[in-house]
Structure formats: C-alpha cells, structure tokens
Amino acid sequence: MTAIKAFIAGCAGHVLGPDEAAFFREAQPWGFILFRRNVETPDQVRRLTDALRESVGRADAPVLVDQEGGRVQRLGPPHWPAYPPAAAFGRLPANDFLLRREVARLGARLIAHDLRTVGITVDCMPVLDVPVPGADSVIGDRAYGRDAREVAILGRACAEGLLAGGVLPVVKHVPGHGRGNADSHHALPVVEAAREELSASDFLPFRVLADMPLAMSAHIIYRALDPRRPATVSRRVIGEVIRGEIGFGGLLMSDDISMNALAGTIGERARAASRAGCDIVLHCNGRLEEMKAVAEVVPTLAGAARLRAAAALARLAHEPEPFDVAEGRERLKSALAMGSAGAET
C-alpha cells in the first residue's frame, strides 16, 4: 500500500510540469489545491485535475479550491458564474430564515456542480468566522453575518449544499478568525478577547458544525488560549479547544503555511503544525523547493489521522443528488434580486 504523506500541495500553472509530476509521484501528498494561476477553461482544469491524480496513482486523491463567491472565487467568468459573497445570503429577508437557508444551500449546490464537473472534490468553505466591529476586513462579507447563530445556520446550509453535490466542505477558520486584527496572509493577528467571550460567540458555529468532515485552522494568537503560539501550531488550542470544547472529530488541516502569519522556515512551520495536532499541512504557493521541504518533515498519514481522512473521502461515495442546474441558477438569481431590493428600501 502506498504511503501517503500528510500534506496538500499546489502546482505552478495551467499544466502539470514534468518535475512537479515526478515529485508528486515520489512524495505522495494526500491531495492538491488549485488557485487562479491554475485555472483557464473548464477543459483545461479537468485535464489538470486528471493529471494531478495520475501523478500519485490515486483516483480518489482530493483536489481542493477556495470557491466561496465574492472576493474569494478561483473559478470565475467568463467560464463560470460570479457567485455572491456569503453576506448576501444574510441580507435576504430577515423574517424568513427558511428562505435564507434554502438559498444558501442552493448557492452551494450550484458551486458543487461547477466543481465536480472539472474534477474538484473539496471546497474550502463555509467561512464560520463571526466578524466584530474594528476587526481587520479580511473576513468582512465572506461571513454570513455578525450573529454567531445565524452564521451557524447558514454555514450548515452551505455545507449541506456542497455535500449534496458530491463536494466536501471545509469549515474555516477554526476556532474563529472574526476578531483578527490583521490579515494573516500578511501578518500575525492577535485576539485579546476573554475565553468566555470566545466560547459564547466565536466557537459556537464550529460547535454546531463539529460533525463536518474537514476543518481549517486559523493562524491567530488567542491570548486567553495560548499567549505565544498561533492556533495552527498550538497543541493547547488544537487539543483543548478544537478537539475538546468544540468537539471537532474530522480531519484538521492547517491554513496555508506559506502565509506570513507564521514564523520560521517552511519546513519548521510544517513540522510545528504537524506536532501541534494538524492532521494535514496545507502548502499553496506551488514552489517546488518549498514543497520538497514540507514533504521531508511531515509524517506519513497514519493512525487516527488516516482514519479521519478515509472517513472524509467516504462521504464522496454517493452520486450527487438529482438537480436541475438551469432551474437552480434562475432560482438563485431571483432570490438574490429580492435580497438586493430589500437592502435598497
């Protein structure tokens, strides 16, 4: 049996280069992630996802993407629809929560259709972060709202829409990025809120969706939890909060370790995330030398992490539910138009 390494890798461009293919064949990453640099046309993306899986010899190797809608959408016009940000679903009529849930699920179901068609099987959404006044704008309209319960309800609807379409959701950024005072792509955010406040609000959506197959950690220091280490590299946060209080039992991946919130070399970051309790290390920028450094230090996927990975992929065993795509697109368009009209009055 092939020994799979506990990391997810990117690639540099629209096609898989021979050096990349040779590296993946040897290193055997658990999965892959695509970005805009990898996306041109539907046929091209399908060829790329096929090539990635062929490189590791595993037809079920997951291929991930960040396809939230709004500012974070790797597949977009002219070949794919422009989807709204999560906040658009929270702006639908406040007195009809069933409508909000239905439309959020519908949007995710349409995204799942787009992704499955080109061989992408994991979407890094829903965002379960709860923004607060004064926080950095990196989350902003990527959140479903500013009420934790509303975020939980609409986040679950989104996750269920993806699963119905045969795509695994990744809840992020556990245990909560909404209070971050910086964009973790560029700097290390620090959250000063008390543990009780975090538990009552920030953790709540993640507790409600603790049954989801995949989650992504936050590169944030929470002073009340671990004053020295960001959650991604903190045994205390992962063990006591993510696995403990929140009760998440699925596969935990790091956020991208090439982001500037983390310190040290790429290898040191990967090792620290693995030792802290991340099942899978995510590396996104597609730089081959960095990927080699990650592959050298991450463990083979084994034990509980391997079982969690297998359980996640088992959720893809069923065929997507029957779905009229054209009708779904019209329903989504009509519902969002109603929300826009309500916001203007």
Catalytic positions, written as ranges: 185, 255
Q: Report residue 263: phi and psi, to 5°.
A: -105, 160
The answer to whether 278 touches 254, Cβ cutoff 8 Å, is yes
Q: Are strands 67-69 and 72-73 parallel, antiparallel or unpaired?
A: antiparallel
Q: At what angle are helices 266-276 and 288-297 packed, to 10 degrees?
A: 40
Listed residue (31, 72, 84) closest to 316, CA to CA: 31
Q: What count of Cα atoms within 13 Å lies in the side-chain half-sphere of residue 300? A: 7
Instruction: Give the separation between CA 48 and CA 64, rounded to whole angstroms.
Output: 12
Please, which residues have CB within 8 angstroms of residue 95's CB and are 6 or more apart in sequence?
none
Instruction: Give the separation between CA 339 and CA 316, rounded to whole angstroms.
Output: 33
The answer to whether 72 touches 142, Cβ cutoff 8 Å, is yes
H helix or E strand, kind and range, residue 191:
strand 190-191
Instruction: Give the separation between CA 76 and CA 110, rounded to whole angstroms.
Output: 13
CA angle 133, 136, 137 (to 5 degrees): 90
Instruction: Give the separation between CA 282 and CA 253, rounded to whole angstroms.
Output: 6
